[in-house]
Amino acid sequence: MYRNMAHNDFPGSDEACRLAQEGKIHEALACYEKALVFSPNNDVILNNKAIALISLGRYEESLACSQKAIAINPYDTGVWVNRGIALEKLGRLPDAVDALEQAVAISPYNAYARALLGIIYQKLEMDDKAEAQNRILQEIVFPKEYAGFYFATAAFLLGILLGGLLSVEGKPLAITLGSAFIIILFFGVICGLYTRSLRLQMEASRDVFTAPYPDNGQKDSRRADLTVMLGFLVFVFVIGAVSGMGTWYYFR
């Protein structure tokens, strides 16, 4: 399988993508080699070739490709991860650790890289570091399980506060509007934090080894999920405001 990367228009790119997805690694590799004739310094093609070579068990050749890709673009997390995998297959565990540590330094929320790093730490009997990676993984996964509940609760409580505030009679309009603005501002902060939490979770859960080119449908789906969740927060906030107004009218 192959790392998710932006599409590059080189001769045979569509064919290489199709062959790789069909598991025809030798044929895909031939396409990458042809592409490198036209674009020898394309780090995307080099990395795809490196992944194909890993699939074929040609680890030394894969390392050579990944080294060229790193020289061109040293800030690509996937290249470092793929290099770490090849090094681990060759039994060069300390070097694999170096590569994967570089990967998590670039992308701290890459759960796949951290999981691999933790496994190699265990093989090297570096138990303290392995446990540290496991704790970080738990922190990365945490938003997926609980963030929605906590953010929705906060939105609901802010809505109740806003509804109660708007229901109080006899206060100067400026004070009412000023207080309402502050509450709505806090709600905006909650939406921003929740958006960041969801994006970090998407980054953490994204498989490093997917198709060599992105699935636009998958990207659209993630964007739609984000829109739905933010819409849900707004809905909860409005329900809270209505509840706050109803509660005030009931008890006054």
Q: Check whether residue 154 and residue 90 sit in a common domain.
A: no
The phi, psi pair for 206, rounded to 5°, reads: -70, 125
Q: Check whether residue 93 and residue 175 sit in a common domain.
A: no
Domain boundary (84, 107, 130) is at 107
Confidence tier at 37 by pLDDT (50, 70, 90): confident
Structure confidence at residue 72 (pLDDT): 93
132 lies in some domain: no
Mean pLDDT for 82-111 is 91
Structure confidence at residue 208 (pLDDT): 38
134 lies in some domain: no
Q: Is 174 exposed, middle or buried (0-12, 13-18, 19+ CB in 10 A)?
A: exposed
Structure confidence at residue 14 (pLDDT): 64
126 lies in some domain: no
Q: Check whether residue 100 and residue 150 sit in a common domain.
A: no
Q: What pLDDT, in 10s, does the model give residues 46-57?
A: 988 898 899 889
Identify the three-state secondary structure at position 101.
helix
Domain boundary (107, 128, 159) is at 107
Q: Check whether residue 75 and residue 149 sit in a common domain.
A: no
Structure confidence at residue 195 (pLDDT): 82
Average pLDDT, the chain: 79
Structure confidence at residue 23 (pLDDT): 77
CATH label of the domain that carries residue 94: 1.25.40.10
Domain that residue 203 falls in? 142-251
Structure confidence at residue 209 (pLDDT): 39
Q: Check whether residue 149 and residue 247 sit in a common domain.
A: yes
Quote the tokens at residue 92.
């060069």
Q: Check whether residue 93 and residue 154 sit in a common domain.
A: no
119 lies in some domain: no
229 lies in some domain: yes
Q: Check whether residue 155 and residue 198 sit in a common domain.
A: yes
Structure confidence at residue 232 (pLDDT): 87
Q: Check whether residue 99 and residue 190 sit in a common domain.
A: no
Tell me the pTM.
Answer: 0.58
Mean pLDDT for 103-111 is 86
122 lies in some domain: no
Question: Could you tell me which residues come within 8 angstroms of residue 121 by beta carbon, excluding any fewer than 6 positions away?
Answer: 97, 127, 129, 130, 133
Question: Could you tell me which residues come within 8 angstroms of residue 131 by beta carbon, excluding any fewer than 6 positions away?
Answer: none
* Count of structural domains, the chain: 2
| Nearest alpha carbon to residue 245 among 171, 176, 163, 177 | 163
More confident residue, 63 or 130: 63
Domain boundary (58, 85, 107) is at 107
Q: Check whether residue 179 and residue 222 sit in a common domain.
A: yes
Cβ count near 231 (within 10 Å): 10
Q: Check whether residue 237 and residue 187 sit in a common domain.
A: yes
31 lies in some domain: yes
Q: Check whether residue 103 and residue 147 sit in a common domain.
A: no
Distance CA 100, CA 139 (A): 19
**pLDDT above 80: residue 70:** yes
Q: What pLDDT, in 10s, does the model give residues 131-173?
A: 888 888 777 765 555 667 788 888 888 888 888 888 776 666 6
Distance CA 82, CA 147 (A): 31
Mean pLDDT for 88-111 is 91
Altogether, the residues listed in the chain come to a count of 252
Quote the tokens at residue 54.
């890993």
121 lies in some domain: no
Q: What pLDDT, in 10s, does the model give residues 210-232?
A: 333 344 445 556 667 778 888 88
Q: Check whether residue 83 and residue 14 sit in a common domain.
A: yes
For residue 35, CA distances in Å to 10, 12, 31, 216 come to 6, 7, 6, 23
